[in-house]
Amino acid sequence: MQKNLDANLRFGFLIHDVSRLRRIVVDRALKPLGITRSQWWVLAFLSRRDGMTQTALAADLDLSKVAVGGLIDRMESAGFVERRSDERDARARRVFLTRAGQKLVTTIRESVDAVETDILATVSEEDLDEAARVLRAIKDRLLELAGTEGETGSGLED
């Protein structure tokens, strides 16, 4: 059965707009913590896969290795992360959360949970479950289409 391309295009724009607006609202909630979106995304990925290589982190964040290197430099100076040499590959550097970074992740999660509760206040549990099911199916298909280059970790809100 052929789907209406115009409706599919609108669906894509809707997903994009929802994601963009959610980022704006979450950024606003996290602003008092003095943390940037890029920094909280680094913390989000590390909270799920602590000890990632800088290269893997760059790929997951869709940033260059140089950009991630500078970001990690600033976060390391602030005491949120630390770099360690990889035990098996001397060329690779792994990034780990520090105790301060772990504490900040907890604070971020609390703030994001409050924002998510507010965002979803008008959505029924059944509708939310169905939307999650549909989005998971779309994500699975996109991962199939993208192959290994599309495989990334999840953030705090997952």
Write down the pTM of the prediction: 0.76
Region 128-139: mean pLDDT is 95
Instruction: Kindly write down the DSSP assignment for every residue of 47-97, as one continuous string.
Output: HHSTTEEHHHHHHHHT--HHHHHHHHHHHHHTTSEEEEE-SS-TT-EEEEE
| Rounded CA separation 68/52 (Å) | 12
Q: Which residue has the higher pLDDT, 2 or 20?
A: 20
- Stated as kind and residue range, the H or E segment containing 116 is helix 99-119
Region 67-88: mean pLDDT is 94
Sequence spans of domains, the chain: 5-150
36 to each of 15, 88, 108, 117, how far by Cα in Å? Answer: 23, 32, 12, 22
Residue 149, pLDDT score: 60
pLDDT digits (tens, 9 = 90+) for 79-112: 999 999 988 888 888 999 999 999 999 999 999 9
**Tokens at 130, concatenated:** 């169905």
Residue 147, pLDDT score: 86
pLDDT digits (tens, 9 = 90+) for 38-54: 999 999 999 999 999 99
Which architecture, in CATH terms, is 5-150? Orthogonal Bundle (1.10)
User: What is the band of 73 on the pLDDT scale with cuts at 50, 70, 90?
Assistant: very high
